[in-house]
Amino acid sequence: MTVAAPLASVLFVCVHNAGRSQMAAGFLTHLAGDRVEVRSAGSAPGEEVNPAAVAAMAEVGVDISDQRPKILTTEAVRSSDYVITMGCGDACPYFPGKKYLDWTLEDPAGQGVEAVRPIRDAIKARVEGLVAEIDAEAAAGRDS
């Protein structure tokens, strides 16, 4: 039995890699499983993942408590099919052939779980759309 290669590789980037990008990575891993390779990073990583983000994700059954902020590397961008930025400014390197998306989302830093919930829900909706797009592109590739 051979294991199929992931349909796509996705990198989520925000400044601290402690809130938005971690929630997005958690949702994508939860929704797509091993069909998609998931990474997240920050241009200036924080010390820990935002506890309010961890709590908000736990409310919807997604555990990101074991995640740690990671530094954005050129290699992470180079090896990703999709690079999704969430307010990382000009810190993201650009490589031709990658699909870049910029998701404008409020920064949950310093906010309580009540304020993080709507950000979480917006991220989930965007990740669901991304999964549908990746699946559709994979299906179109199989049909051609």
pLDDT digits (tens, 9 = 90+) for 85-104: 997 666 677 788 899 999 99
Task: Please pick, among 23, 88, 127, 134, the residue that the annotation labels catalytic.
Answer: 88
Asked whether the predicted pLDDT for residue 1 surpasses 60, the reply is: no
Per-residue pLDDT band at 111 (split at 50, 70, 90): very high
What are the structural domains of the chain? 8-143 (3.40.50.2300)
Q: Is-catalytic flag, 88?
A: yes
Indicate which residue of 7, 8, 13, 14 is catalytic: 14
92 a catalytic residue:
yes
DSSP the chain: -PPPPPSEEEEEEESSSSSHHHHHHHHHHHHHGGGEEEEEEESS--SS--HHHHHHHHHTT---TT----B--HHHHHT-SEEEESS-GGGS---TT-EEEE------TT--HHHHHHHHHHHHHHHHHHHHHHHHHHHHHHH-
Per-residue model confidence (pLDDT) at position 57 = 98
Q: Which of 32, 49, 92, 123 is catalytic?
A: 92
